[in-house]
Amino acid sequence: MNVNNNIVISEHVPLHDKNWFATGGPARYFAAPTTAEELQEALAFAQKRDLELFILGKGANILISDNGFDGLVIQPHLKQISLDKEQSLLTAGSGVSMNDLINYCLNHHLIGLEEFSGIPGTVGGSVFINLHYFNFLLEQFIVEARVIHKNTCEIKIVDRSWFQFGYNYSRLHSEPYLLIDATFQLKPADDLMIAYAQGRRDEIIRHRQARYPTQKTCGSFFRNFFDHEVTLEENNGKKMIYVAYYLDKLGIKGQLQVGGAKVSHQHANMIINLGHATSNDILELARTIQLLVQKNYGIIPKPECQLIGFKEYPLL
Ligand SMILES: Cc1cc2nc3c(=O)[nH]c(=O)nc-3n(C[C@H](O)[C@H](O)[C@H](O)COP(=O)(O)OP(=O)(O)OC[C@H]3O[C@@H](n4cnc5c(N)ncnc54)[C@H](O)[C@@H]3O)c2cc1C
């Protein structure tokens, strides 16, 4: 289906090949805009037909219903990168992959983002969740961005504070805006610093590959707890907020399995698709884990993974 000669809207498009779990049914409609104008056209298409919308990045943090998504899936292919060398400011489209962005930075003598090396995802998905790795949060690098309102298609420029970033949170969760592009403040680096940063990138990737599964998973399935949700304290008197701590103690790592979905032998908070899992298998497994944690610790872990296309919330 062609709208306005620019944006192509396709029907009944498979999504299992567009997400990291490699499960889920098709999209009723699908568009991959390459410019902000095409994005506006896709939004107008959905608006006119009163369609539900989902914005897809690389699908590295989502689980799609086996019934698919009965609306319009927009996967922004906004891949432009521009650089203000003097100010060390870099603007990247929401469809740019984080790993491509990191390589671009290192090739242009800019450092900072390499701390996120090896994490799959686009700029859009990463701003949405405020990408995190140990002490680093993506918000630390963001200065401004362009966002578009899903209903009015109005584009505005916003600064970092607009996003109200928190752990696993940005305003994009709760308000009808999509990211078009984001501008990052980076640090200029000489040859020696770049060599060090490249080494750091390679070391982080090596470390991640040794410690975590890298395929057919969404990374951490459950988010860490907030302080107020837990009572257990570490020796230093701090609250034990790490969900993996509780999951490890249950001994489910590499053991618990439902259909083709299994808890990774490398990490207790990572569910993997053994190759023949359905999204329902993954959900059944996640629910079993929730019940085990609830029974043993009186708390219920909540998903970090976004659940897409479900008519009713499928977890506890
Ligand atoms: C092996 C593996 C390891 C991982 N390790 C980490 C890690 O260390 N740290 C970490 O934080 N995450 C990690 N993740 C999760 C994932 O990499 C991040 O959440 C990533 O940012 C997801 O990006 P994406 O483009 O794939 O988003 P998707 O999964 O496609 O979408 C995620 C959410 O972002 C929204 N979104 C996407 N684009 C836009 C946009 N343009 N505007 C508004 N909303 C948008 C979607 O609607 C959806 O709600 C890991 C995942 C995997 C598979």
Segment 244-279, tens digit of pLDDT: 999 999 999 999 999 999 999 999 999 999 999 999
In ligand 1, the atom with minimum distance to the C-alpha of 132 is 11
pLDDT of residue 4: 53
Kindly give the distance from the C-alpha atom of residue 188 to the centroid of ligand 1, in angstroms, as a whole number.
Answer: 27
Q: Is 219 in the pocket of ligand 1 (CB under 6 A)?
A: yes
Spatial distance between the Cα atoms of 79 and 58, rounded to a whole number of angstroms: 13
Domain ranges of the chain: 2-74, 81-210, 213-308
In ligand 1, the atom with minimum distance to the C-alpha of 54 is 47
Whether CATH 3.40.50.300 fits 2-74: no
- Which of 295, 294, 315, 296 shows the shortest CA–CA distance to 306? 315
Half-sphere exposure of 239 (CA within 13 A, CB side): 10
Query: pTM score, two decimals?
Result: 0.97
In ligand 1, the atom with minimum distance to the C-alpha of 97 is 25
Q: Which tokens is 283 given?
A: 């959900």
Kindly give the distance from the C-alpha atom of residue 61 to the centroid of ligand 1, in angstroms, as a whole number.
Answer: 4
pLDDT of residue 286: 98
Tally of CB atoms within 10 A around 106: 20
pLDDT of residue 235: 83
Query: Per-residue pLDDT for 114 more than 90?
Result: yes
pLDDT-above-90 percentage for the chain:
97
Q: Is 62 in the pocket of ligand 1 (CB under 6 A)?
A: yes
pLDDT of residue 6: 82
| C-alpha distance from residue 245 to each of 134, 242, 255, 269 (Å) | 15, 6, 16, 9
Residue type present at position 53: L
pLDDT of residue 128: 98
Query: Per-residue pLDDT for 1 more than 70?
Result: no
Q: Is 24 in the pocket of ligand 1 (CB under 6 A)?
A: no
- Choose which residue among 94, 128, 305 to substitute to test ligand 1 binding: the one with the highest number of ligand atoms within 8 A of its C-beta: 128
Kindly give the distance from the C-alpha atom of residue 237 to the centroid of ligand 1, in angstroms, as a whole number.
Answer: 32
In ligand 1, the atom with minimum distance to the C-alpha of 58 is 26
Match domain 213-308 to its CATH number in 1.10.486.10, 3.90.78.10, 1.25.60.10, 3.40.640.10: 3.90.78.10
Please compute the mean of the pLDDT values over residues 105-127 and round it to a whole number. 98
Please compute the mean of the pLDDT values over residues 63-78 and round it to a whole number. 98
Q: Atom 15, ligand 1: which residue's CA is nearest?
A: 61
Say yes or no: do domains 81-210 and 213-308 share a fold: no
Kindly give the distance from the C-alpha atom of residue 51 to the centroid of ligand 1, in angstroms, as a whole number.
Answer: 23
Q: Give the tens place of pLDDT for each residue, 117-138.
A: 999 999 999 999 999 999 999 9
Whether CATH 3.30.465.10 fits 81-210: yes
Compute the C-alpha angle 183/57/300, nearest 5°: 105
Averaged pLDDT of the chain: 96
Q: What radius of gyration do the chain's Cα atoms show?
A: 20
3-state secondary structure of 147: strand
Q: Is 56 in the pocket of ligand 1 (CB under 6 A)?
A: yes
Q: Give the tens place of pLDDT for each residue, 4-41.
A: 558 999 999 999 999 999 999 999 999 999 999 999 99
Q: Is 76 in the pocket of ligand 1 (CB under 6 A)?
A: yes
3-state secondary structure of 186: coil
